[in-house]
Amino acid sequence: MDNPLQLSEVLDTLRANWLNGTALADQKAIAKSLIKLRLNIVNAPELAKATEVDKEKLAVIAAKIASGGTLTQNENDVFGRFDLMLTAILDKGYQRADQSYRNSAKAWSIFVSVVLALVVAMFVYGESLSFNKNIDFNIIGGAILLGLAATPIAPIAKHLTSAPLRRG
């Protein structure tokens, strides 16, 4: 059974929502809707395995949804469990992706801060840091420490400057 919504289109949509900064709750709701939309008798066993629901029942549910049939109470219960497990899996995935993004951004910010501090030291001290002469490791060490110290200060400064002013 073919689905008019291709997996590549789903992934492109999810990627676009992530990159464009769509609210996290909306991203998860969209992802869950798209997964349910692609549910069919072919992919039901894999989705059942991932969500730990009965694969035969999920295949029957997928067939009934595709044909517009009515679900029994038992099938509604299975589909509800599928929905809850899907929510939990998406929460876990999005939280891990967000954590990975934040960690890589922090790592890059450390690198950029240290490089910028070294560049500034080169401009300020100029020829005393020339590779043809003895390099003053105190200056380089100080620049590296300054770069490392600047990294955690930047988010605090951003937070303080974007905080609403108190009146009064």
Q: Say if CB 73 and CB 101 are below 8 A apart.
A: no
Measured CA to CA, the distance from residue 162 to residue 124 in angstroms comes to 31
Helix, strand or coil, per DSSP, at residue 2: coil
- Statement to judge: residues 90 and 146 lie in one domain: no
Domain final residue pick, 100, 117, 148:
100
pLDDT for 129:
56
The mean pLDDT value for 97-119 works out to 86
Task: Please tell me the total count of domains within the chain.
Answer: 2
Please name which of 57, 5, 56 lies closest in space to residue 35, comparing C-alpha atoms: 5
Judge whether 1 lies within some domain. no
Whether residue 168 has pLDDT greater than 50 = no
- Statement to judge: residues 94 and 15 lie in one domain: yes
Whether residue 137 has pLDDT greater than 60 = yes
Measured CA to CA, the distance from residue 92 to residue 90 in angstroms comes to 5
Give the global pTM.
0.68
Full domain range(s) for residue 145: 105-162
- Statement to judge: residues 121 and 45 lie in one domain: no
pLDDT range class, residue 101, cuts 50, 70, 90: confident
Domain final residue pick, 100, 119, 146:
100
Judge whether 120 lies within some domain. yes
- Statement to judge: residues 13 and 95 lie in one domain: yes
Instruction: Burial-class residue 127 by CB neighbours within 10 Å (0-12, 13-18, 19+).
Output: exposed
- Statement to judge: residues 75 and 142 lie in one domain: no
CA 19 to chain CA centroid, Å, is 9
Whether residue 3 has pLDDT greater than 50 = yes
Judge whether 167 lies within some domain. no
Q: Which amino acid is at 16?
A: A
Domain final residue pick, 57, 76, 100:
100
Counting runs of H as helices and runs of E as strands, what totals does the chain give?
A: 6, 0
pLDDT above 90: percentage of residues in the chain? 45
